[in-house]
């Protein structure tokens, strides 16, 4: 039997310290956020992009359907339609934040790739800055959408 | 059975010269995405209104259809590279990994072709009302 197999059969063997023993820092958070936001963009984000494009290509009626779900269900909507609309709005918010978060931390990655920004303080500062930039960019888009589409 | 030592089996074979390919493609498509999505976001912010007719006419222009198609290809390539790493990191069963990777490839290629077709149809046949 291989060593790995013997070890797998003994659940009481000591484990090396893992996530739970570390105090979370912006540098750690931004790493997993980059992956999580990338996953959201690659699934919900890309499908929404295709839905939007094909709704434009499909004509006025199909675009109205897209708007009904994603933008506003309208005043005559049933409670269920309004709930579905809010679900899609939340997805839209998640995709918007994911886009800016992935963009900001992606630019940070490109800077790290040239070998810059590894000093502890600088690394921490730019990790926090990426979160703050994504937050404000998302807030800007929410205000833009609210003023242009929802008459807020 | 090969009776040579481990080092003997690999010595002199050299590298495959593709070690950095995935990493480099991920960065190149990342830079492309920064440029192309910035173009899309700025275009949307400058859009006079968001009626279907306006958007269709906008999308049908060559100066919009071309960057949009480039953006679709670039985004889906980047997503394929990224999700590939996610699968490699979390899916350890060889069979599941093979299946997940196949699904990923079907998903990104089918989606990208669909998106390109939608934009090309609008650009070539004109905006339908």
Which range marks the domain in which residue B47 is found?
18-125
Structural domains in chain B (count): 1
CA distance to partner chain B, nearest, from residue A54 (Å): 6
| Residue A66, domain member (yes or no) | yes
| Residue A11, domain member (yes or no) | no
CA distance to partner chain B, nearest, from residue A119 (Å): 22
pLDDT for A75 equals 83
Query: What tens digit of pLDDT does each residue of A136-152 get?
Result: 999 999 999 999 888 77
Q: Which residues of B touch A110 (CB under 8 A)?
A: 27, 30-31
Ranges in chain B, pLDDT < 50: 129
Query: What tens digit of pLDDT does each residue of A93-116 get?
Result: 999 999 999 999 999 999 999 999
Q: What is the CATH number of the domain that holds A98?
A: 1.20.1300.10
Q: What is the CATH number of the domain that holds B79?
A: 1.20.1300.10
| Location of structure tokens 């196949």 | B102
Which range marks the domain in which residue A95 is found?
24-149
Closest CB to A59: pick one of B52, B59, B114: B52
Disruptive mutation site among B33, B52, B78 for chain A (greatest number of A CBs within 10 Å): B52
d(CA A117, CA A121): 9
**What b/e readout covers A49-68, taking b as 16+ CB neighbours within 10 angstroms?**
bbbbbbbbbbeeeebeebbb
């Amino acid at each position: 039997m291989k060593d790995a197999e013997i070890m797998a059969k003994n659940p009481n063997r000591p484990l090396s310290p893992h996530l739970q023993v570390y105090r979370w820092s912006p540098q750690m958070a931004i790493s997993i956020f980059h992956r999580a936001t990338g996953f959201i963009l690659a699934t919900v984000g890309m499908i929404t992009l295709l839905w939007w494009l094909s709704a434009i290509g499909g004509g006025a009626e199909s675009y109205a359907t897209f708007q009904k779900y994603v933008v506003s269900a309208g005043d005559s909507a049933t409670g269920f339609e309004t709930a579905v609309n809010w679900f899609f709005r939340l997805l839209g918010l998640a995709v918007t934040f994911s886009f800016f978060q992935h963009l900001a931390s992606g630019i940070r990655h490109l800077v790290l790739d040239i070998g810059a920004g590894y000093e502890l303080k600088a690394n921490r500062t730019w990790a926090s800055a990426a979160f703050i930039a994504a937050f404000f960019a998302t807030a800007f888009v929410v205000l833009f959408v609210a003023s242009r589409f929802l008459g807020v | 059975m090969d009776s040579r030592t481990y080092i003997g089996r690999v010595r002199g074979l050299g590298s495959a010269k593709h070690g950095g390919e995935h990493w480099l493609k991920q960065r190149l498509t990342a830079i492309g995405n920064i440029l192309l999505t910035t173009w899309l976001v700025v275009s949307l912010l400058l859009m006079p209104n968001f009626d279907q007719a306006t958007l269709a006419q906008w999308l049908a222009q060559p100066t919009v259809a071309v960057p949009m198609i480039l953006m679709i290809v670039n985004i889906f390539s980047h997503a394929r590279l990224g999700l590939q790493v996610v699968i490699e990191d979390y899916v350890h069963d060889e069979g599941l990994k093979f299946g997940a990777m196949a699904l990923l490839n079907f998903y990104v290629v089918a989606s990208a072709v669909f998106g390109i077709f939608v934009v090309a149809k609008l650009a070539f046949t004109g905006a339908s009302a």
